[in-house]
Amino acid sequence: MTSIPEAVAWTLIHFCWQAAAVAAAYRLLSALLARRSAETRYTAALASLMLMLACSVVTLAWELRSESAPATFTSTAANFAAPLTLDLPRIAAPGMIQSRPDVQHITLASLLPWIDGLWVAGVLALSIRSLGGWWYLRRLRQSAITQAPETVRASFDRICSALGLSRAVALRVCTAIDGPMTIGTLRAIILLPLSALTSLGPDELEVVLAHELAHVRRADFFWNILQTIAETLFFFHPAVWWINARIRHERELCCDDMALKICPNPVTYASALYRLEEHRSRHLRLAMALDGHASHSTLLMRIARILGEPMTRIPSTRLRPFSLVAASAGLVALLVPAPHVLASLNPAPQPTASPVVSTVVTPAVHVNATAAVAVKAKPSPYPAIQTTTDASVDTTIAAETQPQAKPEPASQPHSDYIDRMKAAGYDVDLDKMINMKIQGITPEYAQQMANAGFGKLSADDLVSCKIQGVTPEYIADLKKQGYQIDDVKEAVSFKIFNITPEFVSGMKAAGFDNLNSKQLLNMRIQGATPEFARTLKQKFPGVTAEDVVQARIFHIDDEFIAQASRHGFTNLPFKKLVQLRISGLLDDESVKQ
């Protein structure tokens, strides 16, 4: 029987040519399947990886066979390795070699312990990295306790039903991440970053949820773990890493296709990808992320594919800085026709357009305009997450499509948008400038928000406020109710969870004055209405805002109070009712009888 260390070493040696052969076969197969569906290409790549793993298992079993087997492969390998010696002449003096050197013979078999040692060291190093990633994901899962808004949850449940997901999938908001993530197979949980709620509209948020649920539907987390194991065991072979990269790429394309079947507006999907790209950072590969852990150029290829453009239109080579800026500017302008946006940014364009912009932006604009007409956006299902319409861009487009009666004299040139925003103190890059233009942010709006008590806001904060509908009038109405908001993120959170001046006024009328932001948010999240708070205050005059939240969490309502009275628990204070509910005493069948 061959020893285990020797068998492992020979398995690793044979895996080098086996994996190379499988990778070469897959390369030919992928060329034949280039025009087939993403699911077919994904299956071919995954099958290639499984074949590599199967080869290693079969080889290891063969190497561990009994020595009594005829014509053994080990003896053949050993005989083949025996003549492979390295003659290392001994140095007699500096610059001189003995005329009759004492030759040292080093056989390949003598190197097997070194191969095992290096392999074990590499596996341990990558295992530590993977365990660290697992621990980090576990911490994220345990710390994500914030519930998503009810309207988002309703859309989430609808998409689950459309995808045929029978098992429960948790949805949480996590402030520690920058992009959506899917964790787990049997107990899957989807984590949404706060930026997704603040920067995405309702339709964009739907396609993000559809993409993440597609990962759950396909059990991608399980296959991703298997890929991580393969990369750990065979870290030394480039073919394993290459095929794994192809699997992850094709997997994201498959999820893109599934998401577009649920939310069939490609423009909305492409816009959501780009907006989240602005906020994302690199995540550990153990989790399933919307960006697929892809590079910026790969993400551009996905967006081009979603919009119906040939994937070859995005070059695989590294883009020059100016080309990259032009491509990013075109992707920001997905929701409006780019020629009109550029015309509004530069009212007096040159006769010829930039070649880079024409090759990168124009194809996406053509698909954008077609999709925007063909796919009519449905009414927003989210009262708490509001989208804004770029009235200034629409006005500019309408004005340019109408024949102009009289051109303005050259002596009175336009003060264009970029110059006006720079004069207002917003000297930002082109991506953010166009994003602000799309959202209808003007220097007047920025000044009004600064006068509302926030000071000068950043470009990202202005975009978040505009998307969620935070206006100076909204802040002023809250101030009239005695509530002062000094933090722009707090104002955005208020709009997300639909904390209106009427809600604050109703709570004041119910007897709850001077509520802080945390108390207001908790009440709104748990569905505590002013009517519910008023009724509870009448029954229990001493209740606080925290008691109202507990009443909603533990369902301390008229039905439960009546049930407690029927069992002899009458005139209990509110705290005792909560303890009675937590104890579960009334749920005991013997007590009910």
pLDDT for res 413: 32
Q: How far is 148 from 174, CA to CA, in rounded Å?
A: 10
Question: 97-134 burial by CB neighbour count: b if 16+ within 10 A, else e?
Answer: eeeeeeeeeeebeeebeebbeebeeeeeebeeebeebe
pLDDT for res 576: 86
Of 416, 461, 399, 466, give the one whose Cα is nearest residue 438: 466
How would you write the pLDDT of the chain (593 residues) with one tens digit per residue?
A: 468 888 999 999 999 999 999 999 999 999 999 889 999 999 999 999 999 999 999 999 998 884 434 444 444 444 444 444 444 444 444 444 444 445 455 566 678 888 889 999 999 999 998 888 888 888 888 888 788 888 888 889 999 999 888 888 999 888 888 788 888 878 889 998 887 787 777 888 888 899 999 999 998 889 999 999 999 999 999 999 999 999 999 998 999 889 888 887 887 887 777 777 665 544 444 554 444 445 555 677 777 777 776 554 433 434 344 333 433 443 333 333 444 434 444 444 444 433 333 333 333 333 333 333 333 334 444 344 333 334 343 433 344 444 444 444 333 333 478 888 888 899 888 778 877 888 889 999 999 998 888 888 998 899 889 998 899 999 888 888 878 787 888 888 888 888 898 998 899 899 888 888 888 888 888 889 999 999 998 889 888 999 999 898 888 888 888 888 888 888 888 888 888 888 777 765 444 44
pLDDT for res 403: 43
In terms of Cβ atoms closer than 10 Å to its own Cβ (0-12, 13-18, 19+), residue 192 is buried
Helical axes 38-63 vs 73-81, angle rounded to 10°: 80
pLDDT for res 366: 37
Q: How far is 251 from 590, CA to CA, in rounded Å?
A: 54
The single-letter DSSP state of residue 88 is B
> C-alpha distances in angstroms, 320 versus 212, 222, 324, 338, 497?
32, 38, 6, 21, 43
Contact between residue 465 and residue 496 where contact means Cβ atoms under 8 Å apart: no
pLDDT tens sequence across 52-62 = 999 999 999 99
Question: Which residues share a beta bridge with 513?
Answer: none
What pTM does this model have?
0.48
DSSP assignment of 12-45 equals: HHHHHHHHHHHHHHHHHHHHHTTTS-HHHHHHHH
Contact between residue 465 and residue 439 where contact means Cβ atoms under 8 Å apart: no
Domains, the chain, in order of start with CATH, read 136-225+249-374 (3.30.2010.10)
Within 8 A by CB and 6+ apart from 226, the residues are none
Q: How far is 82 from 76, CA to CA, in rounded Å?
A: 10
Contact between residue 380 and residue 147 where contact means Cβ atoms under 8 Å apart: no
Quick one: residue 455, left, alpha or beta (phi over 0 = left, psi -120 to 50 = alpha)?
A: left
pLDDT tens sequence across 474-499 = 988 888 887 878 788 888 888 888 88
Question: 234-273 burial by CB neighbour count: b if 16+ within 10 A, else e?
Answer: bebbebbeebbebbbbbbbbbbbebbbebbebbbbbbbbb
pLDDT for res 31: 92
